[in-house]
């Protein structure tokens, strides 16, 4: 998944870092998420124009343009995903002529703008009036997304309506009359009725369709995000703190792993599988996941021959595999085996928690370790407990402290074989490596997986009691949501522990656990309880997740999944390419589903 994350916020690299040469509007070829800003200097002296992004937390202003003395103008390209705040100073930098809030502006794609710097109403030397005007109307950035949403909604409507129409008695009779073969129609009806009776007598599968649907939904978003997400910033990973769509996917997978571990191990125990056999199976699967992640997903064929100098040891599948191993090991050696218990006691409503108190103690200890290391471990030349991005953030006070203790532990254990292109690199101008799948974050990955195991316990302990299941899911959603709100103070950067996917902070785990319980509960109600939806099309990749994940990671740069784009001035082609590649993998998963081919480890 992180193979594509270096695309995040690289739009900011198009901003000038020094003096800009004069250029006319016709000489500038704007690309996606770019706008043209012309600085119109009507003062008799030179000036500097600086900028900072409102998404960048307490970041230092960066150079955008410089102008010599006398009236003149200079054009520069600026990025449009986030609001920019400009500041105009004199050449020597001793005087700020104009600054926030009058120069905080959200530029739009392909728009042409002018920053006017004019003398003020008085005759004072540094009395200046600054304002921004629009010279050429921008594109509608979100029009491609709206069209895509309408097309997908139409396809979903047809998906639901066409089978209903075909099953109508009147349509069947009309089809029979058109074929002029009533006897064949009667035989078809008789065969259909016979097959329906056979299907009713056949025992129903105990497999949760909602879990496969949730897994497939997460995987579909992951494929779409990894194929570029149409170039929209909210389909890329957040620069540091905060949440985007891309930040939701991997935690959902971890949650699903925990739920699946609980259901799968319980099923194996009921079949009489011994503890030794369980150990062999979970060890084999963990090794395979680690090898796939280490040997195939960490680099692509475009990187050329593997070099030990840049080989990355951590990775997405490595973290998922290790999380799976710890959760499975914990459940394999759990002293409690009978689910649900036959004896009813006063604590039966919370038996899914009480009966597993040793596991809860273990998880609490893990979280205490994460908190102590994150906030108490001394990091050389950095403040203790620092969770920021470093670089130009936090007023530039801690440029080499990216990630605090988490990065320090990774460098101590793994050396330089970690991720050198973190999502904060472009916006925060960081120079230090930081691995989002590092050692310290894996602790909270296990915690989130254990929260997913709690969902599996609820399914098992309250089997065939759908109302109890929905109540417990709602309670956990509320508890975890309140915890996330308290830790983050409902803000992006000002909380006790900000929501941060790079660090896998405690507030991030609580927030993702809340969302996972809510989403799985809704899907379970719609798919398994009411039967209003069969989970299509997400159930197809959900039952073949390993194949789709590895396949799209290895073949993502090859035709027909992607191609070299010709129209890079808007989101149209990139959004089409991302949707096309995602749809192809759903179709491939559908074909395998029909052929009953499921890749398992």
CA distance to 32, 89, 243, 577, 601, per residue, from 231 (Å)? 8, 34, 17, 10, 34
Active-site residue, selected from the candidate residues 237, 472, 552, 571 = 237
Question: How is 457-493 classified by DSSP, letter by letter?
Answer: HHHHHTTT-HHHHHHHHHHHHHHHHHHHHHHHTTSSS
Cβ atoms < 10 Å from Cβ of 314: 24
Q: How far is the C-alpha of 509 from the C-alpha of 142, rounded, in Å?
A: 31
Angle formed at CA 229 by CA 112 and CA 317, multiple of 5 degrees: 145
Length of the chain, in residues: 601
* Residues contacting residue 585 through CB under 8 Å, at least 6 positions apart: 223, 541, 548, 551, 552, 561
Distance CA 392, CA 78 (A): 19
First to last CA, the chain: 20
* Closest residue by Cα to residue 80 from 36, 115, 49, 144: 36
Indicate the DSSP class of residue 60.
P
b/e map of 12-51 (b: 16 or more CB within 10 Å)? Answer: beebbeeebeeeeeeeeebebbbbbbbbebebeeebbbbb
Separation in Å, CA 9 to CA 15, 271, 288, 569 = 11, 51, 34, 17
> CA dist 118 to 103, 123, 481, Å?
14, 12, 50
C-alpha distances in angstroms, 314 versus 217, 308, 499?
25, 14, 22
Using DSSP, state whether 390 is helix, strand or coil: coil
Of 174, 157, 156, 297, the closest CA to residue 226 belongs to 297
| Strands 72-79 and 34-41, sheet pairing | antiparallel
- Give the β-pairing of 96-98 and 72-79: unpaired
CB-side exposure of 5: number of CA atoms within 13 Å?
A: 29
Q: How far apart are CA 579 and CA 574, in angstroms?
A: 9
237 is catalytic: yes
Q: How far is CA 467 from CA 346, 464, 474, 578, in A?
A: 19, 9, 11, 39
Structure tokens at 451: 């929260």
> Which residues carry out catalysis?
237
């Amino acid at each position: 998944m992180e193979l594509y994350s270096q695309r995040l916020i690289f739009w900011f690299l198009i901003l000038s870092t020094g003096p800009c040469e004069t250029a006319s509007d016709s000489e500038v070829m704007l690309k996606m998420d770019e706008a043209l800003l012309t600085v119109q200097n009507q003062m008799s002296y030179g000036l500097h124009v600086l900028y900072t992004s409102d998404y960048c937390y307490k970041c230092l202003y960066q150079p955008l343009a410089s102008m010599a003395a006398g009236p003149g103008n200079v054009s520069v390209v600026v990025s449009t995903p986030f609001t920019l705040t400009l500041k105009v100073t004199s050449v020597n930098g001793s005087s700020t002529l104009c600054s926030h809030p009058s120069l905080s502006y959200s530029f739009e794609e392909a728009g042409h703008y002018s920053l006017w710097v004019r003398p003020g109403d008085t005759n004072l030397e540094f009395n200046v009036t600054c304002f921004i005007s629009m010279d050429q109307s921008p594109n509608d950035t979100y029009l491609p997304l709206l069209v895509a949403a309408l097309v997908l909604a139409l396809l979903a409507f047809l998906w639901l309506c066409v089978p209903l129409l075909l099953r109508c008695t009147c349509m069947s009779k009309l089809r029979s009359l058109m074929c002029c073969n009533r006897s064949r129609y009667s035989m078809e009806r008789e065969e259909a009725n016979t097959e329906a009776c056979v299907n009713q007598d056949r025992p129903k599968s105990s497999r949760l369709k909602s879990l496969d649907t949730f897994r497939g939904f997460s995987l579909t978003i992951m494929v779409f995000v990894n194929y570029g997400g149409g170039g929209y910033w909210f389909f890329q990973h957040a620069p540091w703190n905060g949440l985007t769509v891309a930040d939701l996917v991997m935690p959902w997978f971890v949650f699903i792993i925990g739920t699946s571990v609980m259901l799968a191990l319980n099923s194996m125990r009921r079949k009489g599988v011994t503890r030794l056999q369980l150990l062999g199976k979970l060890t084999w699967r963990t090794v395979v996941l680690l090898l796939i992640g280490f040997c195939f997903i960490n680099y692509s064929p475009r990187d050329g021959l593997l070099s030990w100098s840049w080989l990355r040891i951590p990775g997405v599948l490595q973290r998922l595999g290790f999380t799976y191993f710890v959760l499975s090991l914990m459940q394999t050696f759990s002293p409690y085996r009978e689910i649900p218990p036959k004896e009813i006691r006063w604590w039966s409503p919370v038996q899914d928690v009480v009966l597993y108190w040793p596991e809860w103690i273990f998880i609490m200890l893990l979280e205490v370790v994460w908190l102590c290391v994150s906030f108490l471990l001394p990091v050389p030349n950095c403040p203790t407990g620092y969770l920021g991005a470093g670089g130009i953030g936090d007023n530039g006070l801690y440029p080499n402290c990216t990630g605090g203790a988490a990065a320090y532990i990774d460098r101590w254990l793994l050396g330089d074989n970690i991720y050198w292109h973190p999502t904060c690199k472009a916006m925060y101008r960081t120079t230090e490596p930081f691995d989002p799948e590092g050692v310290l974050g894996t602790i909270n990955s296990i915690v989130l997986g254990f929260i997913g195991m709690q969902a599996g316990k609820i399914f098992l302990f309250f089997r065939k009691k759908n109302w109890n299941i929905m109540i417990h899911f709602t309670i956990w959603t509320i508890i975890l949501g309140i915890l996330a709100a308290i830790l983050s103070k409902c803000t992006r950067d000002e909380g006790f522990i900000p929501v941060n996917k790079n660090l896998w902070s405690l507030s991030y785990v609580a927030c993702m656990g809340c969302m996972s319980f809510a989403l799985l509960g809704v899907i379970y109600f719609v798919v398994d309880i009411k039967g209003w939806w069969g989970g299509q099309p997400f159930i197809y990749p959900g039952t073949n997740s390993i194949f789709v994940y590895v396949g799209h990671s290895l073949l993502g740069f090859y035709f027909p999944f992607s191609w070299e784009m010709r129209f890079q001035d808007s989101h149209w082609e990139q959004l089409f390419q991302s949707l096309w590649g995602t749809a192809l993998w759903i179709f491939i998963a559908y074909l395998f589903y029909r052929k009953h081919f499921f890749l398992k480890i």
